[in-house]
Amino acid sequence: MVKDIPKLVRVSLGTATVLGLDLAILKEKPTTAYLQTYWDGRCTANCRFCAQSRDADAEMFRVARAFYPAYPTQKVLKALKKAWTKKKIRRVCFQTVNYPGMLKELKTLVRHVKLFLGDVPISTSTHAIPRKELEELKKAGATNMVIPLDACSERVFDEVKGVKAGGPYRWVSHWKALEEALKVFGGWKVGTHLILGLGETEFEAVQIFQKLYEKKVYCGLFAFTPIKGTPLQNLKKPPIESYRLLQLIYHLIFSGELKVEDVRFNSEGYIVDFNCEKGKILRLVETGIPFQTTGCPNCNRPFATESPTEIYNYPRALKRDEVKLVKKQLAKRISWLK
């Protein structure tokens, strides 16, 4: 038995409902259990979009649009085991904030989940950490390692997470940690998060999709969501038609069908055209697949960054009327889709 287990762990409200710890009306159920290490204080970093960052004045139990109340860890472990046995969840995901002792707690939690659930896939998402810590996380039972870049370029990273945000993070060290994680966990077992709408150009987004694909790093795409009490509370969400186009390009790049060289941009970095057969695009759009949540296998993050009335990432296969809506949104950028 592993000792020194943290007393509390944060659980997303959707997950808590699936686990039977709480009761909320769920329009869509999460297929991954979303947890977060518990810390009764603010993160030591200062990402400008985050409710839990050092200088933010927002509610601490928020992660993007989702609420993460704290529950006793023992109770959560038992509920997780039941949900895993009944195939209600297919992965456990640990999100973290940065605080002294976080990695020790994370490893203990991962070990316990492994102990209780057996061979469940476990994703751990942290800031850039040294190789030794990556190895220990893997040994504890983590199957997928995610190091969120959040920003699509160094320029945006510095502004929202790095030097200009008064934060400790650096683009170079995040990339170094991704490279180390690839050596420890292997290709396609390492991921990152990208938040679209933080001030990047479409060119910067497509460029990083290509780089990640070549490195065998998958990516959870998020639409920026303004949170009250953060420095970016007045920044708007990205235009839906731009997000749709980038989802489509992301899918094409990650299925090896398109390269950044096949995409034409204007002088402001907007996509104006891309070289792919029209019939293929049409068939792909009809499947709805590019517009579903991306990230670790079986991660669907219902309403993590969207309201039920404006969906950016669909947490399941799209219905007919949703495909029609997506086509209409895309037609604003791809005229022949009209």
Q: Note whether 109 and 9 are within 8 A (CB).
A: yes
Q: Please, what is the minimum distance in Å from the beta carbon of residue 176 to ligand SF4?
A: 19
Contact between 30 and ligand SF4 by CB under 6 A: the answer reads no
Nearer to ligand SF4, 193 or 333 (CB): 193
Contact between 125 and ligand SF4 by CB under 6 A: the answer reads yes
Nearer to ligand SF4, 191 or 290 (CB): 191
Q: Please, what is the minimum distance in Å from the beta carbon of residue 123 to ligand SF4?
A: 4
Q: Please, what is the minimum distance in Å from the beta carbon of residue 113 to ligand SF4?
A: 13
Nearer to ligand SF4, 304 or 334 (CB): 304
Nearest residue to ligand SF4 on Cβ basis: 295
Nearer to ligand SF4, 93 or 103 (CB): 93
Nearer to ligand SF4, 61 or 265 (CB): 61
Q: Note whether 78 and 115 are within 8 A (CB).
A: no
Q: Note whether 34 and 66 are within 8 A (CB).
A: yes
Determine the Cα–Cα distance for residues 70 and 76; give it in Å rounded to an integer: 10
Contact between 251 and ligand SF4 by CB under 6 A: the answer reads no
Q: Please, what is the minimum distance in Å from the beta carbon of residue 15 to ligand SF4?
A: 11
* Out of 146, 152, 194, 196, the residue judged to bind ligand SF4 by CB under 6 A: 146
Q: Supply the DSSP string of 12-35, one letter for each residue.
A: -HHHHHHHTSS----SS--SSEEE
Q: What binding mask, one character per residue, do residues 63-102 give for ligand SF4 by CB under 6 A, x or -? A: ----------------------------x-x---------
* CA 51 remoteness from chain centre: 16
Contact between 220 and ligand SF4 by CB under 6 A: the answer reads yes
Nearer to ligand SF4, 165 or 304 (CB): 304
* CA 32 remoteness from chain centre: 12
Nearer to ligand SF4, 66 or 330 (CB): 66
The residues in 277-306 that bind ligand SF4, with binding defined as CB under 6 A, are 295-296, 299, 301
Contact between 43 and ligand SF4 by CB under 6 A: the answer reads no
Q: How many residues does the chain have?
A: 338
Determine the Cα–Cα distance for residues 46 and 230; give it in Å rounded to an integer: 10
Q: Note whether 110 and 134 are within 8 A (CB).
A: no
Give the largest CA-CA distance in the chain: 61
Nearer to ligand SF4, 195 or 334 (CB): 195
Q: Supply the DSSP string of 144-192, one letter for each residue.
A: EEE---BSSSHHHHHHHTSGGGT-S--HHHHHHHHHHHHHHH-TTSEEE
Q: Please, what is the minimum distance in Å from the beta carbon of residue 284 to ligand SF4?
A: 22
Determine the Cα–Cα distance for residues 19 and 328; give it in Å rounded to an integer: 37
Q: Please, what is the minimum distance in Å from the beta carbon of residue 145 to ligand SF4?
A: 9
Place of tokens 């780089």: 211
Contact between 123 and ligand SF4 by CB under 6 A: the answer reads yes
Contact between 32 and ligand SF4 by CB under 6 A: the answer reads yes
Q: Please, what is the minimum distance in Å from the beta carbon of residue 299 to ligand SF4?
A: 3
What are the Cα distances from residue 64, in Å, to 165, 214, 223, 230? Answer: 18, 29, 10, 11
Task: Tell me the site size for ligand SF4, rule CB under 6 A.
Answer: 13
- Give 41: exposed, middle or buried? Use CB within 10 Å, 0-12, 13-18, 19+: exposed
Q: Please, what is the minimum distance in Å from the beta carbon of residue 31 to ligand SF4?
A: 10
Which amino acid type is present at position 152? C
Which residues bind to ligand SF4, rule: CB under 6 A?
32, 91, 93, 123, 125, 146, 191, 193, 220, 295-296, 299, 301
